[in-house]
Amino acid sequence: MRNIAVIGVGYVGLTTSACFADLGNRVVALDINEERIENLRKGIMPIYEPGLKEIVERNIQAGRLNFTTSYEEALRDAEFVFICVGTPSGVDGEADLRYVRMAAETIAKTMDHPLIIINKSTVPVGTGDWVSDIIKENQPKPIDFAVVSCPEFLREGTAISDFMNPDRTVLGSTNRAAADAVAQLHLPLRAPIMVTDLRTAEMIKYASNAFLATKISFINEMARICEALGADVKEVATGMGYDQRIGPRFLEAGIGYGGSCFPKDVQALAHMANIHGSNPQLLQAVMDINHGQRLHVIRKLEEILESFEQKIVGLLGLAFKQNTDDMRESPSITVAEYVHERGGIVRGYDPAAMANAKAIMPYLQTAKDPYELATGVDALIVIAPWNEFKQLDFVRIRDSMRQPILIDGRNLYDPDTMRQLGFTYRGVGRGYHNGKAD
């Protein structure tokens, strides 16, 4: 059992806190948001993540997990301090490190014994050295510490499983003893542990996310070509995926990626490349394709309706993906704004993200379920492939719609089945039907 402090109880910080506590450690999680901390003490989660609430409550009851707004309390017995604060995109696409700076400065001013400080936040290459300098500059008196980079590789919707069953743990530090100590924390996870230098560890995170985003944009570009040539991108992706050098994952054509990681991380890596004199042509193309894919999907509907004026468009799913309430960079925002600005009425349903979506899009009409969503609409667009959307009663949905138009932004349904049911159906890269590209 080790004593761990976690700074920040957002998506990464709360998952990290709960999972380390569940492994038998004592964890104190800190956030400067008093309301968030008070809610967590009551078992009220700030985010939707399957399984997280149960783990938090179990470890609070076991006395292994506590929440505080006090750095003194969080650091009192700590051996390890994980910095898990947000790093949103700045004006030019750079990562905004103000919260990392605040955490490092406060740790430096508060610590009264040696600590191993671990950067878990996704931060630009070189941040580990920068954090070390900040701590040295702000310590009232010199106290030994070490900085270790330990990037997170959590997917929203499967974060608990990803933490407990990682593909690998990446650690970077100039202090091998500190890196080895952090490695010991991760041994119960029984995954490969890679120890390298600070900057390489930081770069591994960015390179990993950039590559996954590239796979998504690649298959979306192939989908557009499939539409032009009459091929089915789902079959193309399946055929590609059998090649072990390629693999099937992240080859699902659709409306493009979103969320808190891929958009800002690709943009931040491109920014780092630009300011250091490297021309990130591929990264720029990945971003351009992703943005264009959202418009490509919505224009499929525009071609059918000709005008959005006074048309009602229903969005099946609002979060950027299933099993999360995260609206950051969600394709639904781009689609809703496009329709709304052209005089259309936007209605939406999502199992988890309704409140977050309404806060961002006050003009959004909400529905209690997919059937209420479909009532009287001119078209439905699939945004997020929640499981509950896979077995809907489409006869009921068809009969309740003003026009049976379905734009499948996630290729969730079989085109022939939908057409046999009477829908005007458009998927993404699904070939041709009666001379019309899907």
Q: Look at 437 and 255; give whichever has higher pLDDT.
A: 255
Q: What is the pLDDT of residue 437?
A: 56
Pick the range with the lowest mean pLDDT from 42-46, 69-73, 144-148: 42-46
What is the per-residue pLDDT across 292-305, written as a single tens digit (0 to 9) for each?
A: 999 999 999 999 99
What is the CA 437 to chain-centroid distance, rounded? 31
Domains of the chain: 3-196 (3.40.50.720), 229-437 (3.40.50.720)
* Predicted pLDDT of residue 434: 47
Beta carbons of 309 and 343 less than 8 angstroms apart = yes
Does the pLDDT of residue 170 top 60, yes or no? yes
With a cut of 60, say whether residue 223 has pLDDT above it: yes
Q: In this prediction, what percent of the chain has a pLDDT beyond 90? A: 95
Q: Each residue of 5-50: pLDDT tens digit?
A: 999 999 999 999 999 999 999 999 999 999 999 999 999 999 999 9
pLDDT of residue 93: 82
The pairing of strands 432-433 and 169-172 is unpaired
pLDDT at 13: 97
CA atoms within 13 A on the CB side of 49: 27
User: What is the per-residue pLDDT across 393-428, written as a single tens digit (0 to 9) for each?
Assistant: 999 999 999 999 999 999 999 999 999 999 999 999
Given 19, 150, 226, 261, the catalytic residue: 261
- Taking the C-alpha atoms of residue 122 and residue 120, their distance in angstroms, rounded to an integer, is 6
Q: Smallest Cα–Cα separation from 201: which of 187, 185, 182, 214?
A: 182
| Strands in 19-152 per DSSP E | 26-30, 65-68, 80-83, 115-119, 145-149
What stretch of H or E contains 163? helix 159-164
pLDDT over 90 at 435, yes or no? no
The per-residue pLDDT for 95 is 86
Is 60's pLDDT higher than 50?
yes
Query: Is 150 marked active-site?
Result: no
pTM of the model: 0.94
Angle, nearest 10°, between helix axes 52-61 and 11-22?
Answer: 50
Q: Would you call 68 helix, strand, or coil by DSSP? A: strand
In this structure, how many other beta carbons lie within 10 angstroms of the beta carbon of residue 142?
A: 7
